[in-house]
Amino acid sequence: MSESPIAIDWDEVTAEATELLCQYIRIDTTNPPGAEEAGALFLRDALAREGIESELYDAGDSRVSLSARLPATGAVGAKPLVLLSHIDVVPAEPEHWQVPPFSGAVIDDVIWGRGTLDMKGMGIMELMVMALAKRHELPLERDLLFVAVADEEEGGIRGVHYLREHAPHLFDAEYVFNEGAYGYREFMGREAKIVGFGPSEKSPCWVRLISRGDPGHASVPHGRNALARLVRALARLDAKEHEIGLTRPVEGMLRTLMQQGFVDDGFDPSDTETLAMLASADGHLHAVTHDTVSITGLHSGQKLNVIPASAEATIDCRLLPTSDPRAFVEELRAVIDDPEIELDVVYQHNSGESSMDTPAAAVVEAVVRERLGEDAFVMPMLSPGFTDSHAYRAAGAEAYGFTPWLLTREELSTIHGHNERVSIANLRLGTEILFEVVRRLACRG
Ligand SMILES: [Zn+2]
């Protein structure tokens, strides 16, 4: 990167990052049960070799998170910048993989394994940024913080939520870079160089529905069948059409795609009729423009010839950042229209929204174009899934999804799927971009 005043041997850094990622993948941190301690100790040792000390936070049962800080040199000019990642990964089904999912194998310059994309690869890039900042004695005007947490994949109770309670100092930050937006090598059937940038995410609202009735012999139906009642309620929920909502990140995404010629420039994103038509043909666009309800579980009945006295269902609702969760649950109640069905919100948080009008967003835009060329661009995105960034937004930080890799559709489909992998070229690209972004945001002058 021409503008950086620091000479870095990127071949060497890439070889180091590759080796570290392969080792990190081989530590099985499947959640559940997570058992992130081994992963946290691995990160601690790698940081220690650079002369960077870590702190460990033990939430019990090997659920360990870690932080490491490079303090500002001289006078502090700004609040910290946090490089956030999670140590745990989702389960893998080895029988569907071409190589064992925890092998960390390198085949034709591609690193294979559960967590390469989500998100041990990003964790290693962040670790390399810390190492490079230390080795080159960057003149930091703010602290650089590396935070690797347990339990992201199961909601973060033993991870980011535990840290908020037990290590609140880690949340005093201006900027956070985390998972939440990748980049695309191809988009809408065309070659592309698009780096996603995620200022917000949809908010989860997980609800349990409980129906109670009377038991009885199935040979004599009595009209107070708890399961039948619940099924009717679920059918009403499933049939409900939610209103379309245009949030700032999605409007930003659509306008960027228009400017870049991916969407007809006669299109007006605020024209909800056209937007609804487009969304009806594209599951992802539908998800990021609507509150959604997915029925995910139904439990009832012991015996074929017994009317069950109770029934339970779970629904996974995802709300736009502009939706009010309380009003949403009231709306669910109205749709169900059955006072006998109890609604129990088992988990909910507001993902919040960070500003796209910050120095961080401007630096990302500049560095991406310098590194990838004028035909590359940064695209605001709203992630349909949630990440740990919400905890930082709630604490007042500007938190962004930002993993600057250019992935194919096929590679993206391996996230939480089979044969997850990342190319060494992407690992290098991401480390170069992330380092330069952090350098410009954290250094004097
Ligand atoms: Zn993740």
Structure tokens at 353: 């929204």
CA of 383 to the centre of ligand 1 (A): 12
CB atoms within 10 A of CB 6: 15
For residue 445, what pLDDT is reported?
66
CA of 201 to the centre of ligand 1 (A): 13
Q: How many CA atoms lie within 13 A of 186 on its CB side?
A: 8
The yes-or-no verdict on residue 69 having pLDDT over 90 is yes
CA of 399 to the centre of ligand 1 (A): 15
DSSP string, 278-325: HHHT-HHHHHTTS-EEEEEEEEE-SSTTEE-SEEEEEEEEEE-TTS-H
The yes-or-no verdict on residue 2 having pLDDT over 70 is no
CA of 370 to the centre of ligand 1 (A): 28
CA of 313 to the centre of ligand 1 (A): 26
Task: Report the percent of the chain where pLDDT is more than 70.
Answer: 99
CA of 178 to the centre of ligand 1 (A): 9
DSSP 8-state assignment for residue 243: P
The yes-or-no verdict on residue 3 having pLDDT over 70 is no
**CATH fold for the domain made of 10-200+355-442:** Aminopeptidase (3.40.630)
415-443: pLDDT as tens digits:
999 999 999 999 999 999 999 999 999 99
Distance CA 341, CA 35 (A): 37
For 3-7, 213-217, 236-240, 347-351, which range has the lowest pLDDT when averaged over its residues?
3-7
Q: Let me know: does 410 contact 421? Beta carbons within 8 Å.
A: no
CA of 86 to the centre of ligand 1 (A): 7
CA of 223 to the centre of ligand 1 (A): 46
CA of 138 to the centre of ligand 1 (A): 29
CA of 386 to the centre of ligand 1 (A): 9
Largest CA distance in the chain: 83
More confident: 1 or 181: 181
CA of 113 to the centre of ligand 1 (A): 14
H/E run at residue 175: strand 175-178
Distance CA 50, CA 191 (A): 39
322-332: pLDDT as tens digits:
999 999 999 99
CA of 189 to the centre of ligand 1 (A): 26
91-120: pLDDT as tens digits:
999 999 999 999 999 999 999 999 999 999
User: What are the distances in angstroms from CA 143 to CA 26, 51, 213, 443?
Assistant: 31, 16, 59, 10
CA of 84 to the centre of ligand 1 (A): 11
CA of 177 to the centre of ligand 1 (A): 13
- Alpha carbon dihedral 372, 10, 88, 71, in 10-degree steps, equals -100
CA of 85 to the centre of ligand 1 (A): 8
- Orientation angle between helical segments 424-442 and 359-372, nearest 10 degrees: 140
CA of 417 to the centre of ligand 1 (A): 12
155-176: pLDDT as tens digits:
999 999 999 999 999 999 999 9
Q: Is 12 helix (H, G, I), strand (E, B) or coil?
A: helix
CA of 404 to the centre of ligand 1 (A): 15
CA of 209 to the centre of ligand 1 (A): 28
Closest Cα to residue 47, out of 163, 142, 128, 125? 128
176-208: pLDDT as tens digits:
999 999 999 999 889 999 999 999 999 999 999
CA of 150 to the centre of ligand 1 (A): 11
Neighbours of ion ligand 1 (CB under 5 A): 118-119, 179
Q: Let me know: does 405 contact 182? Beta carbons within 8 Å.
A: yes
- When computed from its CA atoms, the radius of gyration of the chain, rounded to whole angstroms, is 24
The yes-or-no verdict on residue 4 having pLDDT over 80 is no
Instruction: Outline where DSSP puts E strands in 24-116.
Output: 54-58, 64-70, 81-86, 106-107, 110-112
CA of 88 to the centre of ligand 1 (A): 8
Distance CA 82, CA 438 (A): 10
CA of 118 to the centre of ligand 1 (A): 4
Phi and psi for 357 in degrees, rounded to 5? Answer: -105, 60
Which residues of the chain are in CATH 3.30.70.360 domains?
A: 201-348
CA of 82 to the centre of ligand 1 (A): 16
CA of 262 to the centre of ligand 1 (A): 28
Which residues of the chain are in CATH 3.40.630.10 domains?
A: 10-200+355-442
CA of 57 to the centre of ligand 1 (A): 20
CA of 179 to the centre of ligand 1 (A): 6
CATH for the 201-348 domain, from 1.20.1300.10, 3.30.70.360, 3.30.470.20, 3.40.50.970: 3.30.70.360
275-318: pLDDT as tens digits:
999 999 999 999 999 999 999 999 999 999 999 999 999 999 99
The yes-or-no verdict on residue 341 having pLDDT over 90 is yes
CA of 180 to the centre of ligand 1 (A): 8
CA of 432 to the centre of ligand 1 (A): 21
Q: Is 77 helix (H, G, I), strand (E, B) or coil?
A: coil
User: What are the distances in angstroms from CA 248 to CA 123, 220, 289, 357?
Assistant: 28, 56, 11, 12
Question: What is the pLDDT confidence band of residue 1, given thresholds at 50, 70 and 90?
Answer: very low
